[in-house]
């Protein structure tokens, strides 16, 4: 076995964000760049000799080349076995499923999630631990520390592995198993949901759905599950072939970037149900016939109807949501008499709660929903959950949502994203907001009075770790909120996210367009944060 130790120098920009290390492809293509970060991962871990590693990605540009490097470095560093998805493909939730099913030591997932792909676009790499979830901060901090002092990395000199051929291959003394990327995940979904009842719905002739995979990773999964296992009509899955550049699109399942699907669901002769997922398969957008389901409402509705799905028939232990996500699910938890946890943004914060059995369902407003079946958010799981509810209740998406509002009240909610903002301007805006916090309480803006103003801090109830400065919150005395955050998922400039929420218990007032219902709060957000003046933008890039 010919192992080379390659001298290198640290790159000082390899600090992982909320979802690993994300940079433009040319950055990762720099000599030693990817290798350094992979070696930093291995150097931060202990006792993995002979253990199993799971590797896969969303199929974006540079995915295959990166996997070959990772395989050879894993062999050189002493792993005994690597499971890799056929073609280098594994959705993020499927990778979590495979880590857990095989008791793997951990996994390396190659994705920049919902960001564009291509030779000059985005690439990402993150490490998942043995529970199948994203590495917690103590692990990512250790990886970054290792990256800053790296002087060499180890790699095996060997031919590339044929990633397209299912089977076992030797790479030095390590075994590489190229596995069916869909099989284990599909089996898990069938254990959670009533596939015969969903099949009856999809093949009844009275129900039509469209699934848009945006030329991203869920294409093979959606085709295998919906069209082959569940009897949906051929062509139900659109844009189902993963492409390295996602067909030139932006693989983010929201009203702007999944506009083709939105046009179909809001057009003439619209289907009954529509859904989309993102680059790596962990996000979802749910649509009914001429009806959009806000992701915060979707989480609440899944929680309220959870016992309709076989995997959750005995009830749920608790729920969790990220801090910016609307409080709609809190109201469901209160009625069910279960705990509801508010965490920082980032799926890793849900992992401890799920591992401890505190929560079953969890979600983020950024189109991410999931449960304790894996330790990642899961786009197709959410779509199947909705189909299971629709099959059981025999009602439309709109009827289910509006009935939910009548029962629990409606949390009007919207997120305004300002993408690619100059980083200095974005940081100035947040610094000025922070400086105002002590003086905001008690101030009146229009018809709203500030009840509290803070920068969210979270103490993990399981391990006691503290995460500070997780987003500026301005809460009003009537329960309304405005939240300001800078996103950690982009690769260029800064993304400013503003979250607006207002509760309406009166059913007669629940039918407004959220942008109308939240109009005064939108003006207040600009007044307090000086958004237009500091960003130079007169409107958001994306509104959801």
Please identify which residue in the block is written with the tokens 């100059």. Answer: 422
Number of H helices, E strands in the chain: 18, 27
Strands (E) in 185-344, as ranges, are 209-212, 237-238, 273-277, 284-288, 291-293, 318-322, 339-343
Please identify which residue in the block is written with the tokens 């046009």. Answer: 263
**Spatial distance between the Cα atoms of 348 and 307, rounded to a whole number of angstroms:** 26
Instruction: Report whether 500 contacts 479 (CB < 8 A).
Output: no
Q: Which one of the listed residues 111, 113, 366, 371 is annotated catalytic?
A: 113
In eight-state DSSP terms, residue 20 is: B
Instruction: Report whether 531 contacts 525 (CB < 8 A).
Output: yes
Q: Give whole-number Cα distances, 443 to 65, 209, 476, 528, in Å.
A: 56, 48, 10, 11
Pairing of strands 106-110, 209-212: unpaired
Pairing of strands 361-364, 318-322: parallel
Buried b (16+ CB within 10 A) or exposed e, 456-475: bebebeeeeeebeebbbbbb
For 5, other C-beta atoms within 10 Å of its C-beta total 11
Buried b (16+ CB within 10 A) or exposed e, 32-59: bbbbbbbbbbbbbbeebeebbbbbbbbb
**Spatial distance between the Cα atoms of 466 and 298, rounded to a whole number of angstroms:** 29
Report the alpha-carbon angle 108-92-491, nearest 5. Answer: 75
**Spatial distance between the Cα atoms of 211 and 225, rounded to a whole number of angstroms:** 11
Under DSSP, is residue 293 helix (H, G, I), strand (E, B) or coil?
Answer: strand
State the number of CA atoms in the 13 A half-sphere of 416 facing the CB. 21
| 113 part of the active site | yes
Q: Which residues are catalytic?
A: 113
């Amino acid at each position: 076995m010919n192992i080379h130790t390659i001298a290198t120098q640290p790159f000082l920009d390899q600090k992982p964000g909320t979802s690993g290390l994300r940079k433009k492809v040319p950055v990762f293509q720099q000599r030693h760049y990817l290798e350094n970060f992979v070696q930093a991962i291995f150097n931060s871990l202990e006792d993995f000799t002979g253990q199993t590693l799971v590797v896969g990605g969303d199929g974006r540009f540079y995915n295959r080349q990166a996997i070959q490097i990772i395989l050879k470095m894993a062999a050189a560093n002493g792993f005994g076995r690597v499971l890799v998805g056929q073609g280098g493909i594994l959705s993020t939730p499927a990778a979590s499923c495979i880590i857990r099913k095989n008791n793997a030591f951990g996994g390396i997932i190659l994705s920049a999630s919902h960001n564009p792909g291509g030779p000059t676009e985005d690439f990402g790499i993150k490490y998942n631990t043995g529970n199948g979830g994203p590495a917690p901060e103590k692990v990512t901090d250790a990886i970054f520390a290792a990256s800053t002092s790296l002087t060499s990395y180890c790699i095996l000199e060997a031919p590339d592995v044929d990633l397209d051929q299912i089977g076992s291959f030797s790479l030095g003394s390590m075994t590489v198993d190229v596995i069916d990327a869909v099989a284990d995940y599909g089996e898990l979904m069938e254990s959670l949901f009533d596939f015969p009842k969903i099949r009856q719905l999809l093949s009844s002739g009275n129900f039509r759905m469209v699934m848009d995979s945006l030329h991203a990773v869920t294409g093979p999964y959606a085709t295998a599950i919906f069209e082959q296992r569940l009897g949906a009509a051929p062509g139900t899955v659109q844009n189902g072939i993963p492409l390295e550049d996602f067909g030139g699109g932006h693989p983010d399942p929201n009203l702007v970037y999944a506009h083709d699907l939105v046009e179909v669901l809001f057009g003439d002769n619209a289907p009954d149900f529509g859904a989309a997922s993102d680059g790596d398969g962990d996000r979802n957008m749910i649509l009914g016939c001429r009806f959009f389901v806000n992701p915060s409402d979707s989480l609440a509705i899944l929680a309220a109807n959870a016992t309709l799905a076989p995997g959750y028939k005995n009830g749920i232990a608790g729920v969790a949501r990220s801090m910016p996500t609307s409080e709609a699910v809190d109201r469901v938890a209160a009625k069910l008499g279960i705990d509801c946890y508010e965490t920082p943004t980032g799926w890793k914060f849900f992992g401890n709660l799920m591992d401890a059995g505190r929560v079953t369902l969890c979600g983020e407003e950024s189109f991410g929903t999931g449960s304790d079946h894996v330790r990642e958010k899961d786009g197709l799981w959410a779509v199947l959950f909705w189909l299971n509810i629709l099959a059981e209740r025999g009602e439309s998406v709109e009827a289910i949502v509006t009935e939910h509002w009548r029962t629990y009240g409606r949390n009007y909610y919207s997120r305004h994203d300002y993408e690619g903002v100059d980083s200095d301007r974005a940081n100035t805006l947040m610094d000025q907001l922070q400086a105002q916090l002590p003086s905001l309480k008690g101030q009146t803006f229009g018809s709203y009075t500030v009840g509290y103003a803070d920068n969210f801090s979270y103490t993990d109830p399981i391990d006691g770790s503290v995460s500070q400065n997780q987003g500026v919150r301005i809460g009003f005395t009537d329960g309304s909120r405005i939240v300001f955050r800078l996103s950690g998922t982009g690769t260029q400039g800064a993304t400013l996210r503003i979250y607006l929420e207002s509760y309406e218990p009166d059913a007669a007032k629940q039918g407004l367009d959220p942008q109308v219902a939240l109009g005064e709060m939108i003006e207040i957000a600009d007044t307090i944060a000086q958004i237009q003046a500091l960003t130079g933008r007169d409107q958001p890039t994306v509104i959801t």
